[in-house]
Amino acid sequence: MLRAVHRAASDLRRGTPVLIEGPQGPLVAAAAEVVGARGLAELAAAALAPPVLLLAPVRAAAVLQRPIAAAPPGGAEGRKMEEGVVALRPGPALLEPAALRRLADPVAERLLPELPELIPPPALSPAALALAKLGRLLPALVAAPARASAAAQLGLLSVPAADVLAYPTTAATTLARVAEARVPLENARDARIVAFRAADGGIEHLAILVGEPEKLAEAGGAPLVRAHSECFTGDLLGSLRCDCGPQLRGAIRRMGDEGAGVLLYLAQEGRGIGLVNKLRAYTLQDQGLDTLDANRALGYGADERGFLVAATMLRALGIPRVRLLTNNPDKMAGLAACGIVVEGREAHRFAANGVNDKYLETKAERFGHLLR
């Protein structure tokens, strides 16, 4: 079940259409960002009706140059605008690879050849958008109801919509320890790295254990824990745009000083949108958007991370109670909702550096990050 989703996301990434299966018959979909002439021809061969464009509501509003009310997915009430999906009927000038790429990408935005018309989204649209996000692609697709025989006849991959929507939970709950090694660190010599992998062999997450936090937990204690989302630019390159580097090294140093702790190094780059999209978000931020609106302009949510990954790893390590090193109240609530007892919070704030000042302000003002 994980495997089919994984393979379908990979096909989307290479511009090949996939079939998303539901009770009313399949939807054939290809990613607007990468689809080429061959993918569009395959899509047309599978389709029962002319293709439509599926976009996140914020992106659709930007394309149409007016505010729109998003249809909540599956008619569910109370969903956030950023979780909905909007369908547009394109004319022939838009059904062409370069125009589709411009439609998907606000960074590449130039005048579109025509303004498409708003129509009700076909069934299974939310799963199509979710699959593009799992592939870390821009959530923009060209899609059409498809013939049930299309998978066999055209050799397209087919995946149940329900499996796509369940993927984040399934992947998080099937994480298991696969490797472990002692790795003395500059500021914490007694450190080990434990690697976790999901049942589909997908993306791996790491736990860095300083000292013996498991023993502390066994005795009923709550070790110092940091759930750190990967940040290639900040953690590795020392980017000044964010505070990730100082937070990462600061957490290890603190655990070294205290003699015990766990740093979960989570493969959730860019708050879950991936490195490529984070770079796009940075371009939008240089054009004036803040970190939250930049994510939304791309069609992603402000924060796409789930906390089940961290909770599953902590449970597997035998650490059900934690003192969490964070300024983010959502992390505490998220871990608690996944069954981890958050006994306390330790502030983890570093001074602004002259470049990340606005980023830190936005985290406090719009994400509700605690200032101390």
Ligand X SMILES: Nc1nc2c(ncn2[C@@H]2O[C@H](COP(=O)(O)OP(=O)(O)OP(=O)(O)O)[C@@H](O)[C@H]2O)c(=O)[nH]1
The residues assigned a catalytic role are 303, 305
CA dihedral 265, 271, 274, 277 (to 10 degrees): -150
Q: Which residues make Cβ contacts (< 8 Å) with residue 53, sequence separation at least 6? A: 32, 87, 88, 89, 90, 94, 100, 103, 116, 140, 141, 142, 143
Tell whether residue 328 is a contact of ligand X (CB under 6 A). Answer: yes
Residue with Cβ nearer Zn ion (145 or 234): 234
From the list 64-72, 135-143, 189-197, 228-236, the region that binds Zn ion by CB under 5 A is 228-236
Q: Which of 40, 53, 150, 242 binds ligand X (CB under 6 A)?
A: 242
Q: Which of Zn ion, ligand X, none does residue 228 bind to, with CB < 5 to 8 Å depending on kind?
A: ligand X
Tell whether residue 331 is a contact of ligand X (CB under 6 A). Answer: yes
Tell whether residue 234 is a contact of Zn ion (CB under 5 A). Answer: yes
Closest CA to 261 of 174, 346, 351, 178: 346
Tell whether residue 268 is a contact of ligand X (CB under 6 A). Answer: yes
Q: How many C-beta neighbours within 10 Å does residue 343 have?
A: 12
**Exposed e or buried b per residue across 222-248, where buried means at least 16 C-beta atoms within 10 angstroms of its C-beta:** bbbbbbbbbbebbbeeebebbbbbbbb
String marking each residue 337-356 x if it binds ligand X according to CB under 6 A:
-----------x--------
Q: In angstroms, give the least distance from the CB of 134 to ligand X.
A: 16
- The H-or-E segment that residue 209 falls in is strand 205-210
Q: In angstroms, give the least distance from the CB of 268 to ligand X.
A: 6
Tell whether residue 291 is a contact of ligand X (CB under 6 A). Answer: yes
Place of tokens 């770079």: 279
Tell whether residue 230 is a contact of ligand X (CB under 6 A). Answer: yes
For residue 242 the two structure tokens come to 């964010």
List binders of ligand X among 11-70 (CB under 6 A). none
> Would the annotation count 270 as a binding residue?
yes
Tell whether residue 271 is a contact of ligand X (CB under 6 A). Answer: yes
> Would the annotation count 278 as a binding residue?
no
Strand 18-21 vs strand 205-210: parallel, antiparallel, or unpaired?
unpaired
Place of tokens 């959530």: 139
How far apart CA 223 and CA 214 sit, in angstroms, is: 8
Q: In angstroms, give the least distance from the CB of 290 to Zn ion.
A: 15
Strand 176-182 vs strand 191-197: parallel, antiparallel, or unpaired?
antiparallel
How far apart CA 124 and CA 148 sit, in angstroms, is: 14
> Would the annotation count 230 as a binding residue?
yes
Q: Which of 185, 242, 284, 325 binds Zn ion (CB under 5 A)?
A: 242
Chain residues in the site for ligand X (CB under 6 A):
228-231, 242, 244, 247, 268-271, 273, 278, 281, 291, 295, 326-328, 331, 348, 363, 369
Binding residues for GTP: 226-230, 247, 269-271, 291, 326, 331
Residue ranges at the known binding site: 226-231, 242, 244, 247, 269-271, 291, 326, 331
